[in-house]
Amino acid sequence: MATPVAELHMHIEGSLEPEQIYRLAERNRMDLPYKDIDDLKSRYEFTDLQSFLDLYFANMAVLRTAEDFADLTRAYFRRAAAAGVAHAEFFFNPQAHVVRGVPLTEVLDGIMDAVASSEREFGLSSAAIAAILRDQPVKDAEEIFSEIIRLQAPIVGLGLDSAEVGNPPSLFEDVFARARAEGLHVVAHAGEEGPPEYIWQALDILGAERIDHGVRALEDPALIERLVDEEIPLTVCPLSNVRLRVFDSLSDHPLRSMLEMGLIVTVNSDDPAYFGGYVDDNFTELGRALGLTEAERDTLARNSIKASFASDARKAELLRR
């Protein structure tokens, strides 16, 4: 790819590859509930978001120490750099680790150690976004956010993920207001499986600067107009959408129409270890399925840089390349 890419929608726990699950289980002297690695790999068939989340949360059990989180994050950076990613903004799910008895400091120390040296080690700038589990009690979100702030964790933003339907953004108004007051960026998963109404709420109630997924915006012309007028970026994840059955196949993916409508679309991998590929695979496979032109690929790459939370100087540097 000519223009470098920023990856803006990737869950670090979703980059945990099967081989790494086995290595970490051995290092932490844990038994896995699978016969062998092939048995584990045979479970990577999903019918919807929840069927994926069940495996995603189960496999996180092997992440226990700061070293585990640092290794996981570095493995993603290495693969992302090979994919042409020059800047990565990735999610992590602090509640999912704390609930298992892993201290938040282990999670943060490991991830932030890798972030601090990503430019030197891998040639990519990076930033972490703490994502709130929307299917857990609001009180838990408030508590984990307070802890993150108390520890002065160098995160760049707050996000919202996990099971969408029945868990509207409006529930989390207060914690997102606190995040904005702390000067953090704010993003939210909305309109992946959930209705367009959740995208309106993410914008109007949470103050989301980007919408993660957002593909169901296409059902609501007034919402499309809003997203276009206000230039709200959508972090779209084509392989994820097919693996979680949001669309039947990549050829059915509406990404080109979204570009033609003037939406600020970016391409991302979401959970690359689970959905069959990293960001380069998403570009290649979607490009092949839709016959994307070089100009369209370039627009997607430039959109990703512009939509990132990198400094203006870093964006200008990347856009010049």
Q: Which residues are catalytic?
A: 192
Matching residue, tokens 């680790």: 97
Q: Is 189 annotated as a binding residue?
A: yes
Residues of this chain that bind Zn ion (CB under 5 A): 270
Among 68, 71, 161, 280, binds ligand ADE (CB under 6 A): 161
Please report whether residue 162 would count as binding ligand ADE according to CB under 6 A. Answer: yes
The answer for residues whose C-beta is within 8 angstroms of residue 253's C-beta and 6 or more apart is: 238, 241, 242, 247, 286, 289, 290
Please report whether residue 94 would count as binding ligand ADE according to CB under 6 A. Answer: no
By CB under 6 A, the residues from 1 to 20 that bind ligand ADE are 11, 14
Closest CB 76 distance from ligand ADE, rounded Å: 14
Report the distance separating Cα 158 and Cα 294, nearest Å. Answer: 33
Please report whether residue 97 would count as binding ligand ADE according to CB under 6 A. Answer: no
Classify residue 246 by its DSSP letter. S
Residues pairing with 88 in the sheet: 7, 126
Matching residue, tokens 């120490």: 65
> Residue 54 or residue 174: which is nearer to ligand ADE going by CB?
54
Q: Is 270 annotated as a binding residue?
A: yes
Please report whether residue 189 would count as binding ligand ADE according to CB under 6 A. Answer: yes
Among 71, 106, 270, 280, binds ligand ADE (CB under 6 A): 270
- Among ligand ADE, Zn ion, none, the one that 14 touches (CB under a kind-dependent 5 to 8 A) is ligand ADE
Question: Under a CB-based contact definition with an 8 Å cutoff, are residues 266 and 304 in contact?
Answer: yes
Question: Under a CB-based contact definition with an 8 Å cutoff, are residues 32 and 22 in contact?
Answer: yes
- Among Zn ion, ligand ADE, none, the one that 49 touches (CB under a kind-dependent 5 to 8 A) is ligand ADE
Query: Environment class of residue 166 by beta-carbon count within 10 Å: exposed (0-12), middle (13-18) or buried (19+)?
Result: exposed
Among 5, 21, 32, 49, binds ligand ADE (CB under 6 A): 49
The answer for residues whose C-beta is within 8 angstroms of residue 13's C-beta and 6 or more apart is: 56, 59, 60, 63, 72, 92, 93, 96, 271
Please report whether residue 254 would count as binding ligand ADE according to CB under 6 A. Answer: no
Report the distance separating Cα 273 and Cα 292, nearest Å. Answer: 24
Which residues in this chain contact ligand ADE in the complex, by CB under 6 A? Answer: 11, 14, 49, 56, 161-162, 189, 192, 240, 270-271
Annotated binding site for Zn(2+): 9, 11, 189, 270
